[in-house]
Amino acid sequence: EVQLLDSGGDLVQPGGSLRLSCAASGFTFSNYAMNWVRQAPGKGLEWVSGISAGGGSTYYADSVKGRFTISRDNAKNILYLQMSSLRVEDTAIFFCAKEGPVGAFFFDSWGQGTLVTVSS
């Protein structure tokens, strides 16, 4: 059974930094692209970032480009999202999501989410 365990969410001040983690199990992690998707309180889903299976290609939403960095450790089966220069509008639940087969660009498994609150 695929399991994705998101963690690292916290209360942080504007301008601060935070690193999210997603521990994966139940599948061959190194074979699948992974993504982060967020949801602000009471709002819809917003794609944040994606990374290829091997980690060589990364993609970012315009709203986070230059501030967030996605990475993965295929030896440890962990996905990361390093967030810096955080803004109030980054407040959201962040979900990690596993893509389907190569080139599928849909998300067939999701973590439970971790809450990031940016506030002074």
Partner 1 sequence: SYVLTQPPSVSVAPGKTATITCGGSNVGRKSVHWYQQRPGQAPVLVIYYDSDRPSGIPERLSGSNSGNTATLTISRVEAGDEADYYCQVWDRSSDHVVFGGGTKLTVL
* Residue found under tokens 């809450």: 115
What value does the CA radius of gyration of the chain take, rounded to a whole number of Å? 13
Q: How far is the CB of 36 from partner 1 (least distance, A)?
A: 10
d(CA 106, CA 56): 19
Q: Does 50 bind partner 1 (CB under 8 A)?
A: yes
Q: Helix or strand or coil: residue 22?
A: strand
Q: How far is the CB of 49 from partner 1 (least distance, A)?
A: 9
Site string for partner 1, 71-100 (x = CB under 8 A): ------------------------x----x
Q: Does 104 bind partner 1 (CB under 8 A)?
A: yes
Contact 64, 49 (CB under 8 A): yes
Residues constituting the chain: 120
Site residues for partner 1 per CB under 8 A = 35, 37, 44-47, 50, 59, 61-62, 95, 100, 104-108, 110-113
